[in-house]
Amino acid sequence: MLVLLLLVLLLLMMLLLLLLLVLQQQQQQQHHHHHHQQQQQQQQQQQQQQQQYQHVSTCIYTLKQQNKQQQHHHRHHHHHHQLQQQQQQQQQQQEQQQQHQE
């Protein structure tokens, strides 16, 4: 599970670096004109960044939760209800992600 978390974090870092690069390039290109447009684009990108961040942090959270519940599951066999709740939460998150993509 740790490996998965590390991978997710690595991906996040890559995304942030890419976004920073894009922002810098745009600033250089548009510095001479279209100041208004530039601001709009920056805002849009910031929103995208936030969405990605929320998405990844929820992923990490669900991974941690799953981990806890799997450990619980080995110790006691009467945590079925918790596991079902977790699955429902994940389904909701998947639906939200699909809406984002649209």
pLDDT number for residue 10: 96
DSSP secondary structure of the chain: -HHHHHHHHHHHHHHHHHHHHHHHHHHHHHTSS-HHHHHHHHHHHHHHHHHHHHHHHHHHHHHHHHHHHHHHHHH-S--HHHHHHHHHHHHHHHHHHHHHH-
Residue scoring higher pLDDT (74 or 1): 1
Q: Is the pTM of this model over 0.75?
A: no
pLDDT, tens only, 91-100: 666 666 666 6
Q: Which of 14-23, 48-57, 58-67 has the weakest average pLDDT?
A: 48-57
**Torsion over CA: 16, 17, 20, 26 (sign):** negative
pLDDT, tens only, 23-60: 888 877 765 555 555 566 666 666 666 666 676 777 77
Two structure tokens written together for 51: 């969405």
pLDDT number for residue 68: 73
Residue scoring higher pLDDT (77 or 5): 5
